[in-house]
Structure 1
């Protein structure tokens, strides 16, 4: 990543780290798979960015995976998603320390970026359920405001703005149709038995995007999780996700079932 050593200089890359794509990452995963001599993999499962990568991997290596579970993801990142990511990068750029070659550069901007991201991950109803005030007497220090600050500060303690920036650019560039005849053609190369999972309240990776996957991946099954918590629903509603994945795998031949 951006904080790793650049072989040309011996110092961290920082702002010089190159643009990477999900396809680049998946090729690295596949080199590891080959090194480990894993000729066949029972199931590849990914959600959000991980789901984008799982799709790419199943396209690049269609004969490796028996099953693919693609959760709350898409065939290409939408203008809506790219706009959210750009707003977060603008927040990082606005941090006066961002141009410094220091691991903590942009950390205040990262806090703001994370707060923006939380809005895209959640919903009006989710915030109403969890962040409403207990009384009508507040004039400041609202629960929702404190929650946003907490999420930003928590991430900044364990992460860095350089890597966050890189991940948003990686997500923006996701497009299974890039360099191929079409998006539909790319999805049709998938041979794994496929479960696509949507979250009914997802405002970031909207259910229509999972419908596209299910329509164009041969034989794919589409399941929808019900949640008040938007994109984060696939994390919050763990039991629902567990149940749809179990049902899918149990419908496969006996030797492949859980």
Structure 2
């Protein structure tokens, strides 16, 4: 990937938004959001919102690719030679933004479970405040999948005139009871682990419950068909390959994510419901001012096509695209060649570029 269009290449880039009022009524002091920023400074802005265990590294680098590397970047469907792309690590995250693993200057200790409850709307308000600090007062588009899609829905309702387009991938207007059930299993696996110690664990590496939570999630993120294709009951004398894969995923999450943060984000997903305090879903659908584009993925157990498509149909001038894939929910992270061109076609509509290409 070319680096000529990179604005902020420092992976430790953060912005302070100061004291921040939460939906719960509390206030967080000295809030920081970590972010990644690519593209020409005078180009239209695309804000990307990340998923549950994602982070701000949407693009990353060729040596350490981000989670949407190939969909976003130079000469990609979301092209950073034409767009400036910004991704924040969410409030409550653990990759540089203020969250449970952050130091609380009031108590001179880590927040852990003293961190206040946060909502999807809190995440969006915090990012809006950060964009104002960056002197960005409008964006061309906002896009995200899963937890990122939940944020994108809320962006369209909290700040309806801030963007022209919304791209919601693999996310529904509220989290279903099925999704809450799996989140509950994951949360209990963490909380009931003696090593969790009510959030006062020393290191993630101690938490076998966190491994189980991740394994539970992995079963829902992909389809049985893709597991069968990949592993086909292959095994050695002691393990099936699928068992080794699940163990690997459990170990890997402990290396890159904080368990307390994971719990807080699960809870914010559980409480996601864009109709909360706004009336019926049908009435809420009429409140979107930006063009809404939704994408669903075949075999997505958590965010089914029917729920996404039915809601999208109630939003004026919205468009829905369904992707045939064996990957299920994780389809929004792979196979960009199958659906990236659809996004490219839509996102390039109505773009005004002021910079020299």
Matching residue of 2:300? 202
Native 8 Å contact 1:225 1:234 kept in 2: no
Deviates more, 1:119-128 or 1:93-102: 93-102
Which ranges of structure 1 fall in alignment gaps of 5 or more residues?
A: none
Answer with 111-120 or 212-221: which moved more: 212-221
Please tell me the root mean square deviation across aligned C-alpha atoms, in Å: 1.7
Q: Specify the alignment match of 2:201 in structure 1.
A: 102
> 1:50 and 1:84 mapped to 2: Cα distance?
18
Residue 211 (structure 1) aligns with: 309
| Residue 211 of structure 2: aligned partner | 111
Corresponding position of 1:127? 227
- Counterpart among 220, 229, 250 of residue 327 in structure 2: 229
**Counterparts of 2:150 and 2:192 in 1: how far apart (Å)?**
29
Q: Secondary structure in 2 aligned to 1:191?
A: coil
**Cα offsets for 1:71-99 (capped at 9, x unmatched):** 01010111000000000011112211112
- Match in the other structure for 1:36: 134
After the TM superposition, which parts of structure 1 deviate over 3 Å for at least 4 consecutive aligned residues? 253-256
Aligned to 1:163: 261
- The two structures have a TM-score, normalised by structure 1, of 0.92
Higher relative contact order (CA 8 A, sep 6+): 1
- Would the aligned equivalents of 1:62 and 1:192 in 2 still touch at CA under 8 Å? yes
Q: Distance in 1 between matches of 2:143 and 2:294?
A: 10
- 3-state SS of paired residue (1:145): helix
Offset of residue 63 of structure 1: 0.6
Instruction: Decide which structure has greater helix share.
Output: 1
Whole-Å Cα distance in 2 between the matches of residues 142 and 76 of structure 1? 36
1:49 corresponding residue in structure 2:
147
CA distance in 1, matches of 2:157, 2:193: 39
Shift of 1:165: 0.7
| Contact 1:104 1:161 (C-alpha < 8 Å) held by counterparts | no
1:188 paired to 2:263: no
Residues 100 and 115, structure 2, Cα contact 8 Å, conserved in 1? yes
How far does the alpha carbon of each residue in 1:115-134 deviate from its partner, in whole angstroms, 9 at most, with x for none?
00000101110100112234
Cα offset, 1:222, TM superposition: 0.4
Decide whether the 8 Å contact of 2:190 with 2:209 is kept in 1: yes
In the comparison of the two structures, how many residue pairs are matched?
A: 253
What is the rounded CA distance, in whole Å, between the counterparts of 1:155 and 1:241 in structure 2? 28
What residue in structure 1 maps to residue 186 of structure 2?
Answer: 88
* Local SS of the residue matching 2:129: helix
Check whether the contact 1:194–1:217 (CA below 8 A) recurs between aligned residues: yes
Contact kept in structure 1, 2:140 and 2:351, CA below 8 Å: no
In structure 2, runs of 5+ residues without a counterpart are 1-98
CA distance in 1, matches of 2:345, 2:213: 37
- Deviation sequence 1:19-72 (CA, Å, 0-9, x none): 111001101011112222322201100100001001101111111101111101
More off after superposition, 164-173 vs 92-101: 92-101
Q: TM-score, normalised to structure 2's length?
A: 0.67
2-structure distance, mates of 1:117, 1:150: 13
Rounded to whole Å, the distance in 1 between the matches of 2:345 and 2:311 is: 19
SS in 2 for 1:33: helix
Measured after TM superposition, the shift of residue 139 of structure 1 is: 6.1
Match of 1:241 in 2: 339
Assess if the C-alpha contact under 8 Å between 1:3 and 1:103 holds in 2.
Answer: no
Take 2:107 and 2:346, find their aligned partners in 1: how far apart are those partners? 50
